[in-house]
Homo-oligomer: A and B are copies of this chain.
């Protein structure tokens, strides 16, 4: 299936289905219908059916899907059953948390090295991942054939570090820095906009407060 055929909203919903299916699987449920999923998750049943069809999973009419099969389909579809090596730059609060984040394992991303500009952090291990000086970034990416970069540094250094990453062979960047990176078109960039999310949150709060006043 070509990239354009998978709508982004479907991709965004799949982890929700996945977590829900994991839970009912743990509870011992073996078969689930799209109707039950739709009701439990508050998503329209035609949408659930479409999303599951996109993963290639086929249920039995009037019976439903095997929960284990659905979990496997989603894992394969999202590339969560293969593994790629990643490095993380910026071992501050957010970076350190991500080094211990179980979501990466499940998503097939293994962080093998972290980098930081502060000498106090270099040489330590955070959640089992060694921290190297940021000057070694280019060399390490080349030597370890790392293809994924995770950016958890301040906005003013993010573009420079992203360019070093790409120059050394990184093909995909998960960016937590609050800037738009300017990189070659064939580089995959996925932005997690914590500040933007906070901006929306704060603004909605202030609007609500004004409505009450």
Q: Give the B-binding residues of A (Cβ under 8 A).
A: 2-3, 6, 8, 11-16, 18-20, 23, 41-43, 77-80, 82, 84, 93-94, 96-98, 100-101, 103-104, 107-109, 127, 148, 155-156, 171-172, 174, 178-180, 182, 186, 188, 190, 192-208
Contact = CB atoms under 8 A, between A and B. Distances in A.
A101 B194 CA distance: 10
Contacts of A107: 195, 198-199, 201-202
Number of copies: 2
A131 to B, nearest CB: 16
Q: Is the interface of A mostly helix, strand, loop or mixed?
A: helix
A200 B207 CA distance: 32
A204 B172 contact: yes
A140 B168 CA distance: 51
A16 B179 contact: yes
A94 B97 CA distance: 5
A4 to B, nearest CB: 10
A96 B94 CA distance: 9
Contacts of A204: 3, 172, 188, 190
Given A11-B199, A192-B192, 6 more contacts: A2-B207, A11-B196, A15-B178, A16-B155, A78-B206, A94-B101
